[in-house]
Amino acid sequence: GFTSISMYPKLWAASGLSYPDLIDRLITLALERAEERRQSLTDYLQASDTPLLPNP
């Protein structure tokens, strides 16, 4: 958790990463992962020529 008593952000702070920097890093990693997943899906669909949704 990310409450005022949570150990997770405190452990990162002890390692030298501040709470705001931790949040920025987590957001950056999430955005990078989302882009990688989007690109993987796009590559798959282009390679397989499979529509995302079937035509009715």
* pLDDT band at 24; cut points 50, 70, 90: very high
Q: What is the mean pLDDT of residues 3-15?
A: 86
- Per-residue confidence (pLDDT) for residue 9, from 0 to 100: 84
- Per-residue confidence (pLDDT) for residue 55, from 0 to 100: 63
**Quick one: residue 49, left, alpha or beta (phi over 0 = left, psi -120 to 50 = alpha)?**
left
CB 22 within 8 A of CB 9: yes
Where do the domains of the chain lie? 16-47
* pLDDT band at 14; cut points 50, 70, 90: very high
User: Mean pLDDT, the chain, as a whole number?
Assistant: 85
Q: What is the mean pLDDT of residues 38-44?
A: 87
Q: How far apart are the first and last CA of the chain?
A: 45
